[in-house]
Amino acid sequence: MNVAQAVADTVSPINPTVKDQVSPAEWQTRVDLAACYRLVALHGWDDLIFTHISAKIPGTEDFLINPYGLMFHEITASSLVKVDQSGKKLMDSPYDINPAGYTIHSAVHEVRHDVACVMHTHTAAGVAVSAQKQGVLPISQQSLFVLASLAYHAYEGVALNHDEKARLQADLGACSFLMLNNHGLLTCGSSIADTFLMMFTFQRACEIQVLAQGGGAELIPIDGQILAGAKAMIAGVTRSAEGMGGALAWPALLRKLDQFSPGYSQ
């Protein structure tokens, strides 16, 4: 038995397919979002069932989010839960949604109409850096991409208080990366593919920082002029190459999923 078949045998569809109940645009969003969840699991960024990724359904204010109770490697296109901005389920599902996830994701989708996807993780490296007063340090090439569009949000406890939404929105502003202090990482982008690529870069910058600090040697900060120039350059590249993540990395990532975690598109 090959690896793909072994994985497929352990992952069965949670719901019957809903492909014939939704628009083609929604179905494609479901497939890409389920793939994103599987990729998070494949990279070891999941935290049992306790983090979340959401994607807006094109042409609507509704969004899809994970069924609360499933591991990320179990999620399929049909098992994702469709909710409106108030958190009300719009299709039958045996699962509820994570209330903290709803608070965070609805806050972003409510005000950032340029955002199609919001991704939040609790990785060890991400939380470790989020607990550092200086936050992300300019010590790697990866950190430059993050620092070009990074904001911070102070910890207010588990995100169950809807009053926090306004403060989160104000802190995020127009940024693509948000460090949730003492909590974790958040990225938001104009596509699921780009949002995943942003999180990959954010996560890698945090891993490098923790490893570099653990070595005990004096760190070499990137020169301020280089940092300022890089911010302008990256901002320009982002504006002129919209969808670069989807055009380049995403198809390759899907091929990897087809090999190691098939079944996400059911």
> What are the residue ranges spanned by the domains of the chain?
3-260
Q: What is the mean pLDDT of residues 72-82?
A: 97
Least confident of 83-87, 187-191, 233-237, 252-256: 233-237
The answer to pTM > 0.95 is no
pLDDT at 236: 62
Q: What is the mean pLDDT of residues 59-63?
A: 95
If one compares 203 and 242, the residue with the highest pLDDT of the two is 203
From the list 119, 122, 104, 105, the residue with the least C-alpha distance to 49 is: 122
H helix and E strand count, the chain: 9, 7
pLDDT at 158: 87
Is the pLDDT at 22 greater than 60? The verdict is: yes
CATH architecture of 3-260: 3-Layer(aba) Sandwich (3.40)
pLDDT at 19: 96
Q: Residue 260: which pLDDT band, with cuts at 50, 70 and 90?
A: very high
Q: Residue 248: which pLDDT band, with cuts at 50, 70 and 90?
A: confident
Query: CA-CA distance, 190 to 156, in Å (whole number)?
Result: 27
Is the pLDDT at 16 greater than 90? The verdict is: no
If one compares 10 and 150, the residue with the highest pLDDT of the two is 150
Query: CA-CA distance, 21 to 259, in Å (whole number)?
Result: 28
pLDDT at 68: 94
Tokens of 132: 């550092």
pLDDT by residue (tens digit) across 170-221? 999 999 999 999 999 999 999 999 999 999 999 999 999 999 999 999 999 9
pLDDT by residue (tens digit) across 142-183? 999 999 999 999 999 887 888 899 999 999 999 999 999 999
Q: Residue 12: which pLDDT band, with cuts at 50, 70 and 90?
A: very low
Bridging pattern class, strands 184-189 and 63-65: unpaired
pLDDT at 100: 80
34-70 burial code (b ≥16 CB/10 A, e <16): bbbbbbbbbeebbbeeebbbbbbbeeeebbbbbbbeb
Mean pLDDT of all residues in the chain? 90
Query: CA-CA distance, 120 to 35, in Å (whole number)?
Result: 15
If one compares 142 and 101, the residue with the highest pLDDT of the two is 142
From the list 17, 47, 4, 70, the residue with the least C-alpha distance to 257 is: 4
pLDDT at 232: 76
